[in-house]
Structure 1
């Protein structure tokens, strides 16, 4: 096949600033650097259970019960996979909702392995919460096989993508992302974006190094030459299924035809050659299978989709690496997961310190326009300090009580402590950064904020305090610090929930509920009105029963039951 030169350069999902900002946001907050460090330390010490706990991964597997019921061979095989599990890497790569907020995909069920090969149970992972604001913990479980095509387990098979979670296979990462021995596609060996003039402008031929070949094929695809891209990848298809220059035939700008072809061949070699689909937003998509010889692909149309009943293909099989795109979007390789950094930047000199997303740092003094002048407000002494004396503060409070319009410094202070009103951009950015870190389990960031003189009364735009995010954090360390600093244990957010109510309604662990009650939280005031069907809980036992009932109705994995309640009391 002859091909004309093209000038495709590095490409990231969409070209609009919002898409790039979302990508950088996910990689900044997905797995905190301190979490990676603690999980790695425990894993290298042979403590796989401690590594999982550090990474926010709950283990719903009792190896002693597995040994009793399924035999020693099964238990040993499951334990081998758990010993080599990199839980922080699993969290890093786990499917996410790629919009605001970029939370773990609640419906995703990722099949990790079948420890005994073609027999025995399957190891899989799912998210505990049912929405972006609920628990972001991942649950590992052992269960029966995926079942027929189209079942939830079948939709996200990572059984041939062990490099995403298994320490024995992480060395495959660069190759699986279309790279060569010394570099990843679109990047130089040190992880910097490759200069445009070094990208291929003509067919490099079948003997070119894999990274160059990937750049060429992806360039064809992104340039609208869809049929040529799939043909160059080795797909068999009817050329009439694709319209040249019509990207509506393609389901996603992040699709990499070369990667998809290679992964389908792997699936076929592993005995998993069933049909899968990739859907587009125009009710048009791709239907493919990894047949012997050449993988086959065709476009489909219609609603509802897919009419064939084929399960969706996991993004791990068909997209360009989100981490390559993140580097192209400006993220430093040193701010990626260490395993990913090694894959994307094999020639990069060792970092001066720990590798991973940057930790939280205090914001400098912020200038606020107040009474026609520029004033400086700072975080100090556990509060947002404004340059006004007590007499001015009292006068401003009286003015606001009488319905007057507040001035800049006082408006900023009120918004900081109530969640209502306008904050200066720098303070708004600091607040959003801190709450996003809290939602992703970054206890160290909240501690650093308090150590830097941060106000524990801080509220976000929904009126939540840091205690409302306690279900995502290490409450044993953080709860005493927040209470000692003056946080209110029964503060209500704008929806009427206390921290205890938010933790109970959002899948928080029972130990969080017990800790808040022990700290003085009132179980009877957790919700803005009634429970799911019954009146609001009046005591701890009532609260736990309410939570168990709610878990059962929302389908959360392993909900509390009445026996759990009795054990907790």
Structure 2
């Protein structure tokens, strides 16, 4: 049997359609300055400052934990906090994908429990509630049950990382290889020096028990070729092919064998992932959602709560049964994106988080982390009968046309005339509507990705380098509309000084103030926009007023604005929405009764 892999992604790995998204995530989601600042504060013993540098809001006081749970719990908590690497935690968080680089929403990541579960205080991180909202995290310490009922819009899903300290604890960061099953040996699909293996270097037959990396490669080869029964057996996973009782009244029936024959799972990670969680006290049963299907995984054998032994996989159709067991965290059934990106040549080990690179690729030398924003370069544009060079500089898109030509073309565009060449590119660069040359499109995307991930230093640096503060994205959102993602204090005065309009609307007919309210902007930002003169008698495309948006998202921190809108503009907004929210609130009261 040939050792070559079939074309496409490895089972459980980065999908081809997500590879470029993951590449952008690694470049923009955790900027180098954040890693440097958080690391410096952590090494200095200031865990609160480290969290602040990594955009993590601390929502508890260790003194309160000590008062409620005793000094022993508080001491264990503070010891973990001193070694918490919030930038590393952010690096490893699940992402929404589907073309988006933002953090997966509605998750509660359990880091450490200080006592018997589920009532013990638990150090955990809450991910953002909204995909387009601020990418800030909340650090909590409170009891969290690992099995959460599904509550639409307000509930959260739990991922247990208590057995995965290398993902967040600086003391254990070097054990990332062991978490991935490599320990002191080489990584699967990599040579000992960290370079990717060639197809002819993969195993052609089942390797012996003394080479874990080769065994993982062999399991992957079997799985990728469709030899699923052999792959499960080689991975130490029993398949329970008992057909569940059919409960669905729709859709075609499926067989357990076909559900378990999925390439969405990395079988080489499942057994160690389940067993590690069982040994950490997280229980011995978990569920994983293969596309539209639920697979239950149980630790079995003589020691079901020990670190070694087999696990059993079976297809579960009843959601009620699946809901009684905990969700298996992604790290336990998906390949680490960093390994896939390096294997595919999309990034180098030196571009990884330094703690990750040091654990996975020690022979590659010290990592420098993700690069900062690139400087603008000249771009060739077809204009008239020739080629011109344009570039972003001095707040404009420089082009080889006289001021008179530029004034004439802009007047033509203002009166609805068609423009082409350099002037069409200039219009698209500012408005975000239309097509740009590839290099300029990359610069445009870079700017807004930096904003999306709260990279205020990069946005300021790009403005200093000559990017126009007036540019908008494809949804007609300018920097004023995105201030909820950034530090508004250095940006808002600069944007107002540049003459930006506080009442400009995006594609959803929202002003910057409406965007701040809708997308979870801070009360401080809302007050700053009001102080700058933002109007409050505005409605969006759904005809919702600011007061209705505040009520919609139950934003008690903006009660002051809701009162002001109701007092100054009574009755503004959609009547149907008021009726809907009243019914919703009454239903919530009935549920709480």
1:66-117 per-residue CA deviation (whole Å, 9 max, x = no partner) reads 3333333333232222221110111111121122212111121111111346
1:152-190 per-residue CA deviation (whole Å, 9 max, x = no partner) reads 777411111111111222121011112131432212344
Contact 2:107–2:159 under 8 Å retained in 1: yes
How many angstroms does 1:338 deviate by? 1.0
Does 422-431 or 111-120 show the bigger shift?
111-120
CA-based RMSD of the aligned residues comes to 3.0
Return the alpha-carbon distance in structure 2 between the equivalents of residues 348 and 133 of structure 1.
36
Q: In the alignment, is residue 172 of structure 1 matched against residue 175 of structure 2?
A: yes
Does 106-115 or 14-23 show the bigger shift?
14-23
Contact 1:108–1:126 under 8 Å retained in 2: yes
Return the alpha-carbon distance in structure 1 between the equivalents of residues 509 and 278 of structure 2.
53
Q: In the alignment, is residue 8 of structure 1 matched against residue 5 of structure 2?
A: yes
How many angstroms does 1:516 deviate by? 3.0
1:34-69 per-residue CA deviation (whole Å, 9 max, x = no partner) reads 111111111111111111111111111122333333
Q: TM-score, normalised to structure 2's length?
A: 0.83
| Other-structure match for 1:227 | 229
| Other-structure match for 1:556 | none
Contact 2:287–2:297 under 8 Å retained in 1: yes
Contact 2:3–2:199 under 8 Å retained in 1: no
Return the alpha-carbon distance in structure 1 between the equivalents of residues 326 and 146 of structure 2.
12
Contact 2:148–2:157 under 8 Å retained in 1: yes
| Other-structure match for 1:322 | 337
How many angstroms does 1:15 deviate by? 8.5
Q: Secondary structure at the match of 1:412?
A: helix
Contact 2:274–2:286 under 8 Å retained in 1: no
What runs of 5+ residues in structure 2 fail to find an aligned partner?
A: 244-253, 303-308, 564-593
Closer, same or farther: CA 308–424 of 1 in aligned 2, 3 Å? closer
| Other-structure match for 1:45 | 44
| Other-structure match for 2:372 | 359
Contact 2:42–2:85 under 8 Å retained in 1: yes
Contact 2:546–2:562 under 8 Å retained in 1: no
1:457-482 per-residue CA deviation (whole Å, 9 max, x = no partner) reads 11111111122222222223333344
How many angstroms does 1:364 deviate by? 0.8
Q: In the alignment, is residue 335 of structure 1 matched against residue 351 of structure 2?
A: yes
Superposed, 1:348-497 pairs within 5 Å as 348-351=364-367, 355-497=368-510
Aligned match of 1:163 in 166, 171, 174?
166
| Other-structure match for 1:541 | none
Closer, same or farther: CA 436–319 of 1 in aligned 2, 3 Å? same
Return the alpha-carbon distance in structure 2 between the equivalents of residues 68 and 440 of structure 1.
37
Q: TM-score, normalised to structure 1's length?
A: 0.86
Contact 1:382–1:485 under 8 Å retained in 2: no
Closer, same or farther: CA 165–385 of 1 in aligned 2, 3 Å? same
How many angstroms does 1:431 deviate by? 0.8
How many angstroms does 1:339 deviate by? 1.1
| Other-structure match for 2:187 | 184
What runs of 5+ residues in structure 1 fail to find an aligned partner?
A: 538-545, 554-558
| Other-structure match for 1:543 | none
Contact 2:162–2:280 under 8 Å retained in 1: no
Aligned match of 1:287 in 293, 296, 300?
296
Return the alpha-carbon distance in structure 2 between the equivalents of residues 390 and 320 of structure 1.
55
| Other-structure match for 1:344 | 360
Contact 1:30–1:440 under 8 Å retained in 2: yes
Return the alpha-carbon distance in structure 1 between the equivalents of residues 484 and 165 of structure 2.
30
Closer, same or farther: CA 14–113 of 1 in aligned 2, 3 Å? closer
Aligned match of 1:524 in 526, 536, 559?
536
Aligned match of 2:196 in 186, 193, 197?
193
Q: In the alignment, is residue 205 of structure 1 matched against residue 208 of structure 2?
A: yes
Contact 1:337–1:356 under 8 Å retained in 2: yes
Q: Secondary structure at the match of 2:57?
A: strand
Closer, same or farther: CA 309–562 of 1 in aligned 2, 3 Å? same
How many angstroms does 1:332 deviate by? 0.7
Contact 1:499–1:526 under 8 Å retained in 2: no
Closer, same or farther: CA 332–147 of 1 in aligned 2, 3 Å? closer
Q: In the alignment, is residue 270 of structure 1 matched against residue 285 of structure 2?
A: no
Return the alpha-carbon distance in structure 2 between the equivalents of residues 173 and 14 of structure 1.
17
Contact 1:74–1:120 under 8 Å retained in 2: no
Contact 2:286–2:327 under 8 Å retained in 1: yes
| Other-structure match for 2:313 | 298
Q: Secondary structure at the match of 2:284?
A: coil
Contact 1:122–1:142 under 8 Å retained in 2: yes
Contact 1:150–1:310 under 8 Å retained in 2: no
Return the alpha-carbon distance in structure 1 between the equivalents of residues 140 and 59 of structure 2.
5
Return the alpha-carbon distance in structure 2 between the equivalents of residues 266 and 257 of structure 1.
15
Return the alpha-carbon distance in structure 2 between the equivalents of residues 278 and 48 of structure 1.
34
- Number of residue pairs matched by the alignment: 538
Q: Secondary structure at the match of 2:391?
A: strand
Closer, same or farther: CA 154–307 of 1 in aligned 2, 3 Å? closer
Contact 1:472–1:508 under 8 Å retained in 2: yes
1:402-449 per-residue CA deviation (whole Å, 9 max, x = no partner) reads 543212222122222223333333222211111011111212221221
